[in-house]
Amino acid sequence: MKNDEPTVGRRALLRTAVFLGVAAAAGMIDVGGGGGTAGDGAASGPAPAPGPAAGPGPHPAAGPPGVLPEARLEKSYRLRPMTAEAPARPRAAKPAVRTRPILELPPGTATTSSMLLTFDDGPDPRYTPAILDTLARHGVRAVFFVCGEMATENRDLLRRMVAEGHVIGNHTWTHPLIPKLSRPALVSEIGRTSEVVQKAVGEAPVWFRAPYGAWNRAAFEIGAELGMEPLAWTVDSLDWTEPGTATIVSRVLSGAGPGVIVLSHDAGGNRSQSVQAISSYLPQLLARGYRMTLPALPPR
């Protein structure tokens, strides 16, 4: 039996080696020497000296099996946000504080056939969609000066306006008489309206119109501070008085001309006459050779 002892010893060593290899492949032991925990005896003696890597197999202490530490580091670096190195976006220049509103299209942006249609007080789901339908039917864009209290309840119409190429302007929150407001109250009226438009369509208005055309110094200053130009009108259809569809049509057609800005309404009362009127005067204006355009911001 003594002659068999070396053979038995070799077999035991072989079985131990096989077990260790299987255990290492399954992640049961740490072959790299650095992943032990207090529960597996790794802290019971001095750590082994660094040595060559154990091979291409998994490293349980470094992460999921099959992922090398170097690969994980490289991936996390690629995913790191780089916003700190991005150039800062320049702030938009604010307009100068005016002493009077813009009353007609600037000569540089208007041609002998250019006109601008504007609608105040909306959006109103009873009338605004029909006006938008008429504009779309003729391929015409316009400016809608919205009141915040109407806009916040009809944000879908704001989004439709922008989607169809129209411009949204600020017409205060509750349509007050501006000269009777305190400055803080006016800041709220104008600022809240710009805020609700920005939240709905992603951009704040760049045009402002005072209700009733009642401007004052504070309105010009606050509007400019919020990045808006003041825009008035040259032809008032007076549709808010409900004078009859034919009268509204006659006023618009008789006032037509180069650079003209037409004022109508899509809310603030019964606007069925306004809806009917635009379906009549718009094709007539186009037939006369007028081109409905949008305002261009003055240089800043």
The set of catalytic residues is 120, 265
Residue with tokens 């603030």: 268
On the CB side of 53, CA atoms within 13 Å amount to 9
Q: How far is the CA of 44 from the CAs of 40, 60, 183, in angstroms? A: 9, 20, 75
The count of other CB atoms within 10 Å of the CB of residue 98 is 17
Residue 266 and residue 58: Cα distance in Å, rounded? 70
